[in-house]
Amino acid sequence: MSYQFKWSVLWSGQSGGWLLQGVATTLAISGLAWILAVGLGILAGAARTVPWRPLRLAGTFYVEFFRNVPLLVWMFFWYFGVPPLLPRGVQDWLFNHSAEFWAGMFALGVYHGARMSEVIRSGINSIPRTQFEASVAMGLTTFQAYRLIIVPIALRLIVPPATNESLNLLKNSSVALTISVAELTFQTRQVETYTAKAIEALTAGTLIYLVLCVSIAWIMARVERRFAIPGLIARGG
């Protein structure tokens, strides 16, 4: 074995800066995609449980369509497929303003929205039907019943599986390197290329992902306890 470890490549030269930028981009694309995914997930998850068939069908169509096509294909779709459909001026503007970032964000958000909606739907389905009946029996509309009662209860119940799905989203943001988004994995490889120190670069990348995931899990556990429904025992310490 003649491999010479040289950990200092990680902070000498441009490496440190690249890795930091990678972290910032990963957090930005994942954060925005997460907001999109949760929003779409609530809408589609709720739509699939309402007592109105057309809305249920629309929700099912969205979920099955986006969930069953690989994320990589969606990345290509939003990056290579969608811009040519836009007016010339918008295209030019986009390509001067990180088109790849926005394409990656949409792909990630819409894909994980479909998966998140399954989590939210199962949360809604675990609420006894009579809660919905009690809501509308007081004169709330179906929309109000969902907004004020059903969705708030469901969200409190699904924090653990939603955490899981959020971590998947964060990890999947690395797929965006295929459309040249300079996120963490992209920058890790750049460090590797410039320094020829693969193990050091990949170790750094791995540890950063680990820290991000553990931090998110910790935050979500706190959120779960903070919003726990009295009488239901929150998991975790």
Partner 1 sequence: MAGAAIEFEGVSKWFGNHQVLTDIDLAIVPGEVVVVCGPSGSGKSTLIRCVNGLEPFQRGDLVVLGDSLASAGVRMPALRTRVGMVFQSFNLFPHMTVLENITLAPVRVRGLSATEAEKTARTLLERVRIPDKAGNYPANLSGGQQQRVAIARALAMQPKIMLFDEPTSALDPEMINEVLDVMTDLAKEGMTMMVVTHEMGFARRVAHRVVFMDAGRVVEEAKPEAFFAAPKSDRAKDFLSKILSH
The binding site for partner 1 (CB under 8 A) comprises 128, 130-131, 133-141, 144, 148-149, 152-153, 156, 229-232
| Residue that is written with structure tokens 């653990």 in the block | 160
Q: How far is the CB of 46 from partner 1 (least distance, A)?
A: 16
Q: Which is nearer to partner 1, 143 or 218 (CB)?
A: 143
Residue 179 burial (CB count, 10 A): 18
Which has the closest alpha carbon to 201: 3, 17, 9?
Answer: 9
Q: How far is the CB of 125 from partner 1 (least distance, A)?
A: 16
User: If you count them, how many residues does the chain have?
Assistant: 237
Helix (H/G/I), strand (E/B), else coil: 234: coil
Q: How far is the CB of 134 from partner 1 (least distance, A)?
A: 4
Q: Which is nearer to partner 1, 89 or 231 (CB)?
A: 231
Q: Which residues contact 48 (CB under 8 A, 6 or more apart)?
A: 56, 59, 60, 63, 117, 121
Q: How far is the CB of 232 from partner 1 (least distance, A)?
A: 7
Q: Which is nearer to partner 1, 153 or 213 (CB)?
A: 153
Q: Which is nearer to partner 1, 56 or 147 (CB)?
A: 147
Q: Which is nearer to partner 1, 137 or 196 (CB)?
A: 137
- C-alpha 191/C-alpha 193 separation (Å) is 5
Q: Which residues of 193-211 are buried (b: 16+ CB within 10 A; e: fewer)?
A: eebebeebbeebbeebbee
Residue 33 burial (CB count, 10 A): 25
Q: How far is the CB of 128 from partner 1 (least distance, A)?
A: 7
